[in-house]
Amino acid sequence: MTAPSGAGKTTIKTALLSGLDYLGFSISATTRVKREGETDGADYYFLTPDEFKQRINDGDFVEYEEVYTDQFYGTLYSELERNWDLGKTVVLDIDVQGALSIKETFADQSLVIFIQPPSLETLKKRLMARDTESEESLRKRITKAELEMQFAESFDTYIINDDLDLAILEAKSLVDDFVGKQ
Ligand code: 5GP
């Protein structure tokens, strides 16, 4: 799943994971600081920039991106394997560039759902209401979101997150259909 920050992707992802028991989450590695309420090894693997560089050099990433200046995020091969060993279909929550890389690597074996906020205004309001970001971080996220909004139609499918319950239903049905077809 991919989306501009603030589109509601994380909420939809959480609902998918708790609603469809054949799904497992790929816990990404990141160098960003841990937010209140987040757990290392559950939400992310929080790494220092040096540790992250080491993992790049060791070839541990399926894909990685500098999503924001000095903030790296990446999908670990070991996370895909951990989920596959459990017989799970893997869910990734990644930025637009990362999703493009995944599509390149996994092609028809992957379904990329772009979660679109109803408008840029709604997205800004959601980001501001979140209250987890500094002003600087908020500014970066809004600038990036403006760019990312243009990618809505570049992926397999998109969902407009206007009504959250409907968006969740739509996401579940898309995933069920996709996995059923494999
Ligand atoms: P946040 O800091 O809000 O948790 O995430 C910021 C952005 O980084 C989100 O768009 C999220 O989907 C993305 N992200 C999280 N993990 C990964 C990853 O492993 N790879 C990439 N490319 N982006 C990621």
Measure 182 CA to ligand 1 centroid, in angstroms. Answer: 26
Highest mean pLDDT pick, 5-14, 94-103, 173-182: 94-103
Q: Which atom of ligand 1 is nearest to the CA of 3?
A: 10
SS (H, E, C) 70-123: CEEEEEEHHHHHHHHHCCCEEECCCCHHHHHHHHHHHHHHCCCEEEECCCHHHH
pLDDT > 80? residue 26: yes
Going by alpha carbons, the residue nearest to atom 11 of ligand 1 is: 94
pLDDT > 70? residue 181: no
Measure 28 CA to ligand 1 centroid, in angstroms. Answer: 8
In a domain, 3, yes or no: no
In a domain, 4, yes or no: no
In a domain, 1, yes or no: no
Mean pLDDT for all residues in the chain: 93
Going by alpha carbons, the residue nearest to atom 14 of ligand 1 is: 94
Measure 75 CA to ligand 1 centroid, in angstroms. Answer: 9
- Ligand 1: residues whose CB is within 6 Å? 5, 28, 32, 63, 65, 67, 73-75, 93-95, 97-98
Please return the burial class of 87, using the count of CB atoms within 10 Å of its CB with bins 0-12, 13-18 and 19+: exposed
In a domain, 61, yes or no: yes
In a domain, 176, yes or no: yes
Domain containing 118 equals 9-181
In a domain, 93, yes or no: yes
Residue 70: CATH number of its domain: 3.40.50.300
Q: Pick from 73, 97, 104 the residue to mutate for probing ligand 1's pocket: most ligand atoms within 8 Å of its CB.
A: 73
For 139-157, write each residue's pLDDT tens digit. Answer: 888 888 888 888 888 899 9
In a domain, 160, yes or no: yes
Q: What is the pTM of this model?
A: 0.91
Number of domains in the chain: 1
Query: Lowest-pLDDT range, 15-29, 31-45, 122-136?
Result: 122-136
